Structure 1
Amino acid sequence: MLSDRVLFIDGEAIILDKPAGLPVTPPVNGGMSIENYREMLSFGFHRWPNAVHRLDRDTSGCLLLSRNPKAMKRFQRAFEERRVAKRYVAVLDGIPSGDGGTIDLPLGKVSTREEGWRMVGDPAGKAAVTHWMLLRVLDNRALVAFTPETGRTHQIRVHAAEGLGVPVVGDPVYGSGTLGKNGIMLLHSEWIRVSRDGKPPVEARAPLPATFINAGFADDDVPPP
């Protein structure tokens, strides 16, 4: 149950450890999403919580929900003013060159009738900057931490595939899309912190999911933010 996956809760916010495979908003073709669980996540409040930002369907980990309209406006403003710190952890289908650095690769959206839409590196696109650090190498795969400065659609996935030349394991768009028999993408929103005026920040870390553990990586491989 999603109510068992709450990492942080107070009168303004909930941070949820979203499972991979569950979209934040209802899919076009129907199916379950976070929207279907909002009443369960109200925890006695009359208002149901709303997602402040988005995670891709196949990305697991920290998702911030607001518990009232005023908090929503403040959190949205924090995102706009870049007062939100986030860290993602991914298993890459190969080993990047170096131990870390910064990927400065603007992103643009392209679309074709055959393949649908995707994001690509585009000098004329929107600015996108991600810092990265190599955490561990195992069996020609790498566990990498990504700290984005910007929040573009598919930013981590494209920056891994194009910026580092090594896609996220299981990425169905920018990589091979397969991981053994399950094909689950190994991208995880591991940590988030949102500043609040006059109050302690909203902050939580999400433990690595079973898919990472099964791939040979562990929480001990990820240092504190």
Structure 2
Amino acid sequence: MSNSTEELAILPATSEPYQIVYEDDVLLVVNKPAQLLTVPGRHPQNQDCLIRRVQREFPFAEVVHRLDYDTSGLLILPLTKRVLSDISKQFQARSVQKHYIAVVEGKLAKAKGVIELPLAADEQKRPLYKVCPQQGKPSETRYRLLSYNAAANHSRVQLEPVTGRSHQLRVHMLALGHPMLGDSLYAPGAIAAKSPRLMLHAEYIRFVHPLSRAVIEFSAPAPF
């Protein structure tokens, strides 16, 4: 998920610290809090971000993938150029496995499924994205219903992005008729107001360690 939306507005950085989930000589896995950019934004007031905070302690840390400002969860941060290259290739090959937890409005009709809807930038509503069969890039999300809260009429779902388009999970769930709670960009006002934060968290990641070649996996429970 990219940071394109965050380059256009002032986004106050949370004071909540990041957490180190794993550390060795060549890479980190960290848990990013919500309401913190992964990298600096274009706006001069958007310089406080995850990577700059991490680099105070780990000067050689670099970004290989991103989470949106509003999204919390796990990120791999390489500490060497070799590891950066290796992890980048794993992402390009779609061999990195990851899933997210989200809370969405309504009850899903199916317990699990696959959403395949092409996505493109919405030129009329930048910085939003939209489903666009003509110009959109192929995008695929697997979903699984975890639970349904009838009293509140919302569902807890596990989302696995097979592709990694900007705002893919948010737009795909919206297209399915289930906007995410706290989503100030895509959810109707009443649904956006149901949570002080976007209810989307990168809970799990699995990849091959660039040096040992062992498969390693990490999880960080959703804070909601």
Bin for the TM-score computed over the shorter chain:
0.7 to 0.9
C-alpha root-mean-square deviation of aligned residues, in Å?
Answer: 1.7
Which residue of structure 1 aligns with residue 158 of structure 2?
145
By percentage of residues, which structure has more strand? 1
Does the 8 Å contact 2:39/2:52 carry over to 1?
no
Structure 2: segments with no counterpart, 5+ residues? 1-15
Residue 134 of structure 1, CA deviation: 0.3
Which residue of structure 1 aligns with residue 174 of structure 2?
161
Which residue of structure 2 aligns with residue 208 of structure 1?
222
SS at match of 1:48: coil
Q: 1:59 to 1:176 in 2, by over 3 A?
A: same
Map residues 84-103 of structure 1 onto 2, 5 A cutoff: 84-103=96-115
Residue 33 of structure 1, CA deviation: 0.6
Which residue of structure 1 aligns with residue 185 of structure 2?
173
TM-score norm. by structure 1 comes to: 0.83
Does the 8 Å contact 2:51/2:61 carry over to 1?
no
SS at match of 1:116: coil
Q: Which amino acid aligns with 2:139?
A: A
Q: 1:202 to 1:10 in 2, by over 3 A?
A: farther
Does the 8 Å contact 1:179/1:185 carry over to 2?
no
Which residue of structure 2 aligns with residue 15 of structure 1?
29
For 2:129, which of 119, 130, 133 is the aligned residue?
119
Q: How many residues align?
A: 201
Q: What's the CA shift string for 1:10-67, capped at 9, x where partnerless?
A: 222211110000010112222311132133341xxxx420121010000000011001
For 1:66, which of 57, 72, 78 is the aligned residue?
78
Q: For residues 92 and 17 of structure 2, what CA distance do their matches in structure 1 show?
A: 28
TM-score norm. by structure 2 comes to: 0.84
Q: What's the CA shift string for 1:146-201, capped at 9, x where partnerless?
A: 01111111110011001x21111111111136334x63100000001112465213
Does the 8 Å contact 1:13/1:202 carry over to 2?
no
SS at match of 1:74: helix
Q: Which amino acid aligns with 1:123?
A: P
